[in-house]
Amino acid sequence: MTRTITVAAAQLGPIQLAEPRAEAVGRMVRLMEHAHRRGVELVVFPELALTTFFPRHYLEDRAEADRWFETSLPSNETAPLFEAARRYGISFHLGYAEKTPDGHHYNTAVLVGPGGEIMLKYRKVHLPGHADYLPHRKVQHLEKRYFEVGDLGFPVIRAPLGGQQVNAGLMICNDRRWPEAWRVMGLQSVELVMLGYNTPSTNQDAAGFEAHHLRVAHSHLSIQAGAYQNSTFAVATAKAGTEDGCELFGNSIIVNPQGEIMAEATSWSDELITADCDLDRCTLGRTTIFAFDRHRRPEAYGRILEQVGAVEPPVWTPTAAGASTR
Residues taking part in catalysis: 47, 124, 173
Please report, as residue ranges, which positions from 142 to 201 form the binding site for ligand CDT (by CB under 6 A).
Answer: 173-174, 177, 197-200
Distances in Å between the Cα of 97 and the Cα atoms of 5, 35, 83, 147, 151 are 28, 24, 21, 8, 14
Does the protein bind ligand CDT through residue 108 (CB under 6 A)?
A: no
Edge-to-edge strands, sheet with 241-243: 199-200, 246-249, 241-243
Does the protein bind ligand CDT through residue 141 (CB under 6 A)?
A: yes
Q: How far is the CB of 191 from ligand CDT (least distance, A)?
A: 24
**CA quadruple 77, 82, 87, 93: dihedral sign:** positive
Size of the site for ligand CDT (CB under 6 A): 11
Does the protein bind ligand CDT through residue 239 (CB under 6 A)?
A: no
- For ligand CDT, which is the closer residue by CB, 205 or 293? 205
Q: How far is the CB of 234 from ligand CDT (least distance, A)?
A: 15
Please report, as residue ranges, which positions from 64 to 103 form the binding site for ligand CDT (by CB under 6 A).
Answer: none
Residue-wise DSSP of 105-137: EEEEEEEE-TTS-EEEEEE-----S-SS--TT-
CA–centroid distance for 253 within its chain: 11
Please report, as residue ranges, which positions from 32 to 51 form the binding site for ligand CDT (by CB under 6 A).
Answer: 47
User: Reduced to 3 states, what is the DSSP secondary structure of residue 7?
Assistant: strand
Q: How far is the CB of 73 from ligand CDT (least distance, A)?
A: 20
- For ligand CDT, which is the closer residue by CB, 179 or 200? 200
Residue 253: its H or E element: strand 253-255
Rounded to whole angstroms, how far apart are CA atoms 65 and 61?
A: 8
Rounded to whole angstroms, how far apart are CA atoms 4 and 279?
A: 6
Residues β-bridged to residue 165: 160
Distances in Å between the Cα of 188 and the Cα atoms of 80, 126, 270, 319 are 33, 19, 33, 43
Q: How far is the CB of 127 from ligand CDT (least distance, A)?
A: 7
Binding ligand CDT (rule: CB under 6 A), the pick from 80, 116, 128, 179 is 128
Site string for ligand CDT, 256-285 (x = CB under 6 A): ------------------------------
Q: How far is the CB of 107 from ligand CDT (least distance, A)?
A: 8
The binding site for ligand CDT (CB under 6 A) comprises 47, 128-129, 141, 173-174, 177, 197-200
